[in-house]
Amino acid sequence: MATITANGTFHGHELTDMPVVNPGDWFGKTWLIEIGGSYSPLFLIVEADSMSAAIDELADSEKYGHHIVVEEANLGDYPEDDRHYGPSGQVVDLDHLMVHGQEGSKTPFTCTYHGEGLPAEGVKPNEFCWDELGA
């Protein structure tokens, strides 16, 4: 399967080569996820129906879920009454997570997808189709 990345503008800053979680699975409804806690935040694009669904998609991502899913060895640091749970019952840490996008809009965070088999200028997420890439 081809790797899809995204480019977009966030508060006047160009963000390029952002990994895309779940490309083509929610009609191009994209959210910008920012994971902080270090000198340089990690920016990801996630396709999902809502902000909470974007967090769920991230939690279930094999490649990026580890950024928010709490390891079993560390569960003692998360009191039962203060825990947040992901869609598969995993405990997630949302302290350094921000979701950017306009709730209730067709395209919450505007970006373009790039990758092998896509035009050089990229495609809008709502025009992306795995079938056209032969995937």
Summarised one tens digit per residue, pLDDT across range 24-81 is 999 999 999 999 977 789 999 999 999 999 999 999 999 999 999 999 999 999 999 9
Confidence of residue 133 (pLDDT cuts 50, 70, 90): low
Q: Distance between terminal CA atoms of the chain?
A: 6
Tokens of 121: 């200028």
Cβ atoms of residues 97 and 34 within 8 Å: yes
Return the pLDDT at 1.
Answer: 60
DSSP state of 135: -
3-state SS, residue 117: coil
Identity of the residue numbered 8 = G
3-state SS, residue 103: coil
Per-residue pLDDT averaged across 8-36, rounded?
A: 95
DSSP state of 2: -
Q: How far apart are CA 23 and CA 4, in angstroms?
A: 7
Confidence of residue 131 (pLDDT cuts 50, 70, 90): low
